[in-house]
Amino acid sequence: MSNKTIMTEFVLLGFSDLRKMQILHVVFFLVMYLAALLGNLLIITAIALDHHLHSPMYFFLMNLSVVDLGSISVTLPKSMVNSFLNNKSISYHGCVTQVFLFVFFASADIALLTVMAYDRYVAICQPLHYANVMNRRACVQMAAGAWISGILNSAVLTGNTFALSFCGDNTVDHFFCEIPQLLKLTCSVSYLSETVAIAWSACLVLCCFVLIIMSYVKIFKTVLRIPSEQGRRKAFSTCLPHLTVVSLFIFPGTIAYVKPTSSSASVLDLVVAVIYSLVPPVINPIIYSMRNKEIKAALGKLTGWRAFTKN
């Protein structure tokens, strides 16, 4: 890799060169980062300590919270430190590490969301077989498969990207190292590499998205046949948070990686990146806890705050 590049570092342009805007950026990102840390750590701790939540749905939710913590920790701290110190550089190897870890957590996130959709499908459409299908061993294997698929996908995309030669301009029009932005800086003939990266990511996301849609089509058909309105409401309440999380993550992420890259900086690129990299880790704990009485009760016991246990 070192023989193919003369690049020793990259410059992350971030949002602004104005000092006041940099401080505002640090404050905003710090608030969001602390909110994500607090929310996801509370979810993980509540599920781990409350034996009532030791079920497949909450096991996968705990894995999702771990992924969210990892993904937001890869990008935000470095961006905040750079803005605070007014130093926008990131080393070449630091950029490689950031790309690998971010793609790893993002890929594991997509896989976990797909597994969670399957869990809801079995729980609602095949309730009598749920205990046998979603047993402890199967849940561990599914979670492990999600993490392993993340590692494999990240290795392919990261290796494919940094096998290219980078020379000349080293400024990245972003607040973290993102593959579409890095492809703009290569002096190699990157059409094949870019096509492979986009096709690989598109296939992964498309397969997961199709499986999620198929699961929820069958779920909604089953729910609409439930005679009790209360039963339908309860079934929908367990599905809507997951669909919201899927929408917040998959659609903006797909736009970021599939849309054609342009040589000029785009405000849309930054907005889309903030939506899919920052918003889900902050919002997910709120979405899953607001409509879930069991999570509310567990958080109420954990924090001693009665507001969580109110309906």
- Tell me what pLDDT residue 248 has: 78
Tokens of 11: 């410059």
Residue 219, domain extent: 13-309
Report yes or no on 53 lying in a domain: yes
The closest alpha carbon to 283, from 63, 64, 51, 84, belongs to 64
Report yes or no on 3 lying in a domain: no
Report yes or no on 87 lying in a domain: yes
Report yes or no on 1 lying in a domain: no
Residue with tokens 């990146």: 273
- The SS3 of residue 173 is coil
Q: How many CB atoms lie within 10 A of CB 24?
A: 14
Count of structural domains within the chain: 1
Positions of E strands within the chain: 9-12, 89-91, 171-172
- Tell me what pLDDT residue 2 has: 45
The CATH number assigned to the domain holding 82 equals 1.20.1070.10
Q: Do the Cβ atoms of 111 and 150 come closer than 8 Å?
A: yes
- Tell me what pLDDT residue 1 has: 44
The closest alpha carbon to 8, from 208, 138, 170, belongs to 170
Distance CA 237, CA 123 (A): 13
Report yes or no on 142 lying in a domain: yes
Report yes or no on 187 lying in a domain: yes
Report yes or no on 6 lying in a domain: no
- Tell me what pLDDT residue 194 has: 63
Report yes or no on 248 lying in a domain: yes
Q: Which residues in 172-196 are b (16+ Cβ under 10 Å) and which e?
A: bbbbbbbbbbbbbbbeeebeebbee
Q: How many CB atoms lie within 10 A of CB 267?
A: 8
- Predicted confidence pLDDT, tens digits, the chain (311 residues): 444 446 788 888 877 777 888 888 889 999 999 999 999 998 998 888 888 888 898 999 999 999 999 999 999 999 888 888 888 889 999 999 999 999 999 999 999 999 999 998 998 888 888 999 999 999 999 999 999 999 998 998 888 888 888 776 788 888 888 888 888 887 766 556 666 766 777 788 888 888 988 988 888 888 888 777 777 777 777 677 777 788 777 777 777 776 655 555 567 777 888 888 888 899 888 887 766 677 777 777 777 655 444 54
Give the N- to C-terminal CA distance of the chain in Å, as an integer.
57
